[in-house]
Structure 1
């Protein structure tokens, strides 16, 4: 059950991705051989999940470095700076994207004085490091989070924060995968996660593949399950955690937190330190991506609403820190008040 998925990987001349738009019915690999294809894969959610987006962007920078016809390091550095701007523009809420491209560019600037070939080689090595570190962080999140799941626990999760959302092991699903690998008995309630159905399409597929018992529910059933005593804890991922502990995650997360608070159910957020953004003081400052209304009015390409009806699609919402029981990072479990613990997690990462 601890085996990683292959979400993002490198092949000579290509950033390779499992196409998450085709799951669960088809397992298709997308090979991105140019920066525009990497950017499009991020924008259209061929790859999604904050850590996976970060890994993909890192490889996108490496792709530019390996393909460039620049004749000196300063010229290549300018190309990499332009590539960062292109990638950063694709998904504004997930902080791991800009975190990864900033890390790559900082390394590029450090390597540039050593010459063109050192810069080319160093970019691919750094992208590999981003991927491998993400895997290690997710396993650590699993180790710290598994003890928080009650014995024979019933866990509810939202969206997909599993291996598909990371380099291969997951954030919110990591404690569940680790607990299951330890022989623990648990059951997972999987929110379908409208309108993009990441829970129904992706999380249900992952858990089934891992052999972890699950039941798929519509989003509006979650309150009923809590009221009926069927939920022992909730674990979700995050796309951005700001300095005070406010959390941006897939739309619908805030509603779950409010319900959990009412029913006295622990509400946990699992994320690596790369998702923590100390530059923003509160969640009010997080940019919220507004996606196409077609993703609400259509399902699988089929119109499900009256023709011409307006639809809104904020892709994320912000859960205030007061509704969060704890944040599980690769450095340990951070409890309220979050400011000091999150700052320590970032400093040690």
Structure 2
């Protein structure tokens, strides 16, 4: 049965964590700023929590799903003749929650690879738990690298304090820790190069923007909530230097699939002479997707789940893609392919 309990307020938040007694703790992002967690003891409870929006963010979904698969393995009665066959329906159920969430699909791919490489007489549940923990750790490490690279990019183009604009939520709770676009903002604040952040969102609920503003205020970052309809006038009259966003998936040519409203914001940024930065790990890069136009509109409308449709921002509108492997300025297919050829753990 799903258990709910209050969580103590800490300096650092964690969306997904493994408990020593063999359960997955999910921080309920619907209840913030009230800190409430759900302790899930099997994959059914993890799936149910993910379906109803307890966890948001492609990377966080991936981490939660990986731990859910590890939980499912612990429920099987040994001996198991074929672990991959037994667990594939569970993996498929998690994959169906976010078909366009590249980080989720990447994490489940790692779990499949782990299963394929384990002997049937080995400690399969234990090995799967190690793989899930490694996925969470790799995402946190990638976020730290992206924050560092993003800060270097900000400093390279602007030496003075600057004002940034965010869309939606890409913070501490969107993955293994640190955040993507929000991680760059936080790094800029710690380095003393950030003046203020303008936070907006195009979705009717504006839940992502509220969550972003709450997290920024919690860590002392000066920020203001703006309506999406006010983005153009803010760009015109405020000295905004960069628009910084995350991504659900990036095509091989650099087209970015992410929160609906990003495309319009990128057009406005170009018109007003602002730079546009996408912060996403290489797990988000889908080299099998040639470009964003390969996706049907109905796929984008239903891809994100929980009433959060996506759109495609063409690569021509993007000044830089920041990954844990480095920064691609003026991205194109060749530069992305070169970056992806660099070997790294993540």
Please state if 1:119 is matched with 2:124. yes
The match for 1:40 is 48
State which of 58, 62, 65 in structure 2 corresponds to 1:57: 65
1:157 is paired with a residue whose SS is strand
Q: Which residue of 2 aligns with 1:302?
A: none
Q: Residues 54 and 83 of structure 1: is their aligned pair in 2 closer, same or farther, counting only changes over 3 Å?
A: same
Question: Once structures 1 and 2 are overlaid, which stretch shifts more, 241-250 or 196-205?
Answer: 196-205
The equivalent residue for 1:22 is 31
Which residue is 1:79 aligned to? 86
What is the Cα deviation at residue 289 of structure 1?
A: 4.3
| Match 1:250 to one of 240, 252, 259 | 259
Cα offset, 1:200, TM superposition: 3.2
User: 2:319 aligns to what?
Assistant: 325
Larger deviation, residues 79-88 vs 127-136: 79-88
1:1-349 map, 5 Å: 4-11=12-19, 12-24=21-33, 26-74=34-82, 76-111=83-118, 113=119, 115-149=120-154, 150=158, 151-286=160-295, 287-290=299-302, 315-347=309-341, 348-349=343-344
How many angstroms does 1:243 deviate by? Answer: 0.2
3-state SS, counterpart of residue 255 of structure 1? helix
Residue 91 of structure 1 contacts residue 289 of structure 1 at CA under 8 Å; is this kept in 2?
A: no
Distance, in Å, in 1 between the alignment partners of 2:56 and 2:308 is 16
What's the secondary structure of 2:53's corresponding residue?
coil
Q: Secondary structure, in 3 states, of the residue corresponding to 1:17?
A: strand
Cα distance in 2 between the residues matched to 1:182 and 1:230? 19
**Could you say what secondary structure the match of 2:107 adopts?**
helix
Residue aligning to 1:298: none
Q: Give SS of 1:186's match.
A: strand
Post-superposition offset of 1:292: 11
The alpha-carbon deviation at position 4 of structure 1 amounts to: 4.0
Q: Matches of 1:285 and 1:13 in 2, distance apart?
A: 42
**Structure 1: how far apart are the matches of 2:102 and 2:53?**
16
Residue aligning to 1:301: none
Question: Cα gap change, 1:48/1:116 in structure 2, threshold over 3 Å: closer, same or farther?
Answer: farther
Distance 1:292 1:271, change over 3 A: closer
Q: Tell me the residue number matched to 2:5.
A: none
For the 8 Å contact 1:5–1:169, the answer to whether it is kept is no
Asked whether the equivalents of residues 42 and 91 of structure 1 are also in contact (C-alpha less than 8 Å), the reply is no
Normalising to structure 2: TM-score of the pair? 0.89
Contact 1:73 1:116 in 2 (8 A): no
Distance 1:4 1:140, change over 3 A: farther
Structure 2 CA distance for partners of 1:292 and 1:160, relative to 1, 3 Å: closer
Shift of 1:69: 1.5
Deviations 1:82-111 (A, max 9, x none): 111100111222111111111111111101
* Structure 1: runs of 5+ lacking an equivalent: 296-312
Q: Is there any run of 5+ residues in structure 2 with no aligned partner, and where?
A: 1-10
CA-atom RMSD, angstroms?
A: 1.9
Summarize deviations over 1:163-198 as a string: whole Å, max 9, x none: 111111000011111122223332100104422323
Q: Distance in 2 between matches of 1:41 and 1:248?
A: 25
Q: Find the counterpart in structure 2 of residue 303 from structure 1.
A: none
